[in-house]
Amino acid sequence: MKIFCTRMLVSKLLVFLVLLVLLEYRVIQGQQPYINNHQSDCYNTAYDNLTKGFGCNGVPSCQSYLTFRSNPLYNTAVGIGYLLGAEPTQIASINNLTSEVATIPTDTQLVVPVNCSCSSLYYQYNVTYRLKDKTETYFTVANNTFQGLSTCQAMMSQNKVGDRNLSVGLNLLVPLRCACPTSNQAASAIKYLLTYMVTWGDSISGIADLFGVDQQTILDANQLSQDQNIYPFTTILVPLNTTPTKIEHSPPPPPPPAPTPQTPPAVLENYTIMQRN
Ligand SMILES: *[C@@H]1O[C@H](CO)[C@@H](O)[C@H](O)[C@H]1NC(C)=O
Ligand SMILES: *[C@@H]1O[C@H](CO)[C@@H](O)[C@H](O)[C@H]1NC(C)=O
Ligand SMILES: *[C@@H]1O[C@H](CO)[C@@H](O)[C@H](O)[C@H]1NC(C)=O
Ligand SMILES: *[C@@H]1O[C@H](CO)[C@@H](O)[C@H](O)[C@H]1NC(C)=O
Ligand SMILES: *[C@@H]1O[C@H](CO)[C@@H](O)[C@H](O)[C@H]1NC(C)=O
Ligand SMILES: *[C@@H]1O[C@H](CO)[C@@H](O)[C@H](O)[C@H]1NC(C)=O
Ligand SMILES: *[C@@H]1O[C@H](CO)[C@@H](O)[C@H](O)[C@H]1NC(C)=O
């Protein structure tokens, strides 16, 4: 009798554990794995699943957002809208710009709305880019011009012309990385996924602060763990419950108080991003 009971207990426990593992698996399956700097190796096909786009694992299309940093070539809502196939009026209103043609200071992070949709295996937003210079390659277009919002692997798989045969004036399809919420995410009130372009000095906790979201939801959405590195010019998905607004960086810390002999030096929090060679 006693042995029988123990067996029952053990088998129940096993069933419970199996269910737990299955549940965990489902949750992990529901999100998108982080690209982990594999976009930098254009001819490595081992990570196609990560580099070609975020897999279609939710609704077929959705409103989504991405971030872009203004630079001297793209420094107005009109210019950025032209590059990213987005509506200048929407860029201006989300980012509280005075007008669609007002010059945006260099390095301002902007939120840009795009319509994301599933194209066979991967979510993407198609834009066309006309090559301007003979030094341009799939890598420089994806990394430098589009700031990592696309990848050379995704571009090479969707354009017929080989990397060596690119020429000025050629129109290339640039699939921008975007994603739609999974049913798990929708169930936890996530409305949009914003494609955040990582830059030097970024950390997940810093990105979470920028959008007022919990750090753990970003880690989960990207299948990242707390101790993993993130790399510049890669994309991180930020799950949002509401429509994003202008990105406000917190003001610089107030100047330190007048030095007193006993005050130890202030220790600043510093997050570094490792650059893999
Ligand atoms: C990776 O790609 C293969 C097909 O190329 C597919 O069968 C598999 O499900 C993908 N894995 C993930 C995690 O998306
Ligand atoms: C995105 O989709 C909406 C609704 O379908 C449409 O009104 C809008 O013009 C689209 N925007 C772009 C930039 O294609
Ligand atoms: C938007 O800009 C106006 C003036 O240009 C300013 O008064 C207002 O506070 C800004 N709003 C936000 C949310 O930054
Ligand atoms: C990617 O582009 C950025 C500028 O947008 C540049 O600073 C960086 O060096 C580029 N990365 C590589 C590996 O060329
Ligand atoms: C985007 O481009 C791909 C070709 O690579 C095409 O299959 C897909 O239908 C396009 N998506 C839209 C929304 O036009
Ligand atoms: C480049 O163009 C040449 C001549 O048109 C063609 O033979 C070759 O296959 C092309 N190479 C690639 C990689 O597209
Ligand atoms: C972090 O440290 C690096 C190198 O020591 C420095 O260049 C950078 O400015 C620091 N960043 C912050 C936010 O303190």
Q: What is the pLDDT of residue 72?
A: 97
Task: Please state the rounded mean pLDDT for residues 42-54.
Answer: 84
Q: Please report which confidence band the pLDDT of residue 277 belongs to, taking 50, 70 and 90 as the band edges.
A: very low
What's 48's DSSP letter?
H
Q: What is the pLDDT of residue 117?
A: 97
81's enclosing H/E stretch is helix 77-84
Highest mean pLDDT among 15-29, 93-107, 213-227: 93-107
Comparing 120-134, 139-153, 254-268, the range with the smallest average pLDDT is 254-268
Check if the beta carbon of residue 197 is closer than 8 Å to that of residue 112: no
The minimum-distance atom of ligand 7 relative to the CA of 271 is 1
Query: Tens digits of per-residue pLDDT, 217-242?
Result: 999 999 999 888 999 999 999 999 99
Task: Compute CA 26 distance to the chain's CA centroid, rounded to the nearest angstrom.
Answer: 22
Check if the beta carbon of residue 213 is closer than 8 Å to that of residue 195: no
Query: Tens digits of per-residue pLDDT, 181-197?
Result: 999 999 999 999 999 99
Query: Tens digits of per-residue pLDDT, 196-216?
Result: 999 999 999 999 999 999 999
List CB contacts of 246: < 8 A, sequence separation 6 or more. 94, 95, 96, 111
What are the CA-CA distances from residue 131 to residues 82, 139, 145, 152, 238 (Å)? Answer: 14, 12, 11, 14, 31
Q: Which of 93, 94, 95, 96 to mutate to test ligand 3, by most ligand atoms within 8 A of the CB atom?
A: 96
* Bigger pLDDT: 20 vs 83: 83
CA–centroid distance, 53 to ligand 2, in Å, is 21
Q: Please report which confidence band the pLDDT of residue 21 belongs to, taking 50, 70 and 90 as the band edges.
A: very low
| Four-CA torsion 209, 74, 116, 125, nearest 10 degrees | -140
Q: What is the pLDDT of residue 253?
A: 63
Residue 36 pLDDT exceeds 70: yes
Q: Which of 155, 165, 167, 172 to mutate to test ligand 6, by most ligand atoms within 8 A of the CB atom?
A: 165
Task: Please state the rounded mean pLDDT for residues 135-164.
Answer: 95
Rounded to 5 degrees, φ, ψ at 23 are -65, -45
Task: Please state the rounded mean pLDDT for residues 44-51.
Answer: 82
| Residue tagged 């290339």 (tokens) | 172
Residue 16 pLDDT exceeds 80: no
219's enclosing H/E stretch is helix 215-221
Q: Which token pair is 5? A: 């009971």
